[in-house]
Amino acid sequence: MLGNIVRWGLILGVLSAAAGCALPGTPESQHGRRMLWQSQLEQLFQADRTVEFVSPEGSAVVTYSRSGEQTIEWGGGRDTGTFEIRNDHFCSRWKTLRNGAESCTRVFKINATEYELVGDDGAYAATMRLK
């Protein structure tokens, strides 16, 4: 179980860099995807929502509450935390994962149900699929 926590801590740690930095290139469109701005992110998370995150390291299911609470479950592990939309970034903090450190990413819309999370350094973090 500790191995899974560490693995997901690394996965979710990759999901961000410090908020407020500029993405390399044009933030409005990276590789044909459209970046979501503050109001679009707020709209995406205005209702309770369940998503699947897929990354090279594995997958997890996250449930978001409109109150800003979140729960993550993956192959035998579970954690809870909070999230917020701030400065055109999706920011989250878990109780155990990432040792409770906050992580912020830009979100790019791929299609109607898939979004790509990208760090401010332009590195791919994960794909989020709406359920």
Domain boundaries, the chain: 2-130
- 118 near 31, Cβ under 8 Å? no
**pLDDT confidence bin for 125, thresholds 50/70/90:** confident
How confident is the model at residue 48, as a pLDDT? 96
**pLDDT at position 69 over 90:** yes
Q: What is the DSSP letter of 21?
A: P
Question: Closest by alpha carbon to 71, among 47, 46, 96?
Answer: 96
Q: 2-130, which class in CATH?
A: mainly beta
Residue-wise pLDDT for 25-42, tens only, equals: 444 445 578 999 999 999
Pairing of strands 29-30, 103-109: unpaired
Distance between first and last Cα of the chain: 26
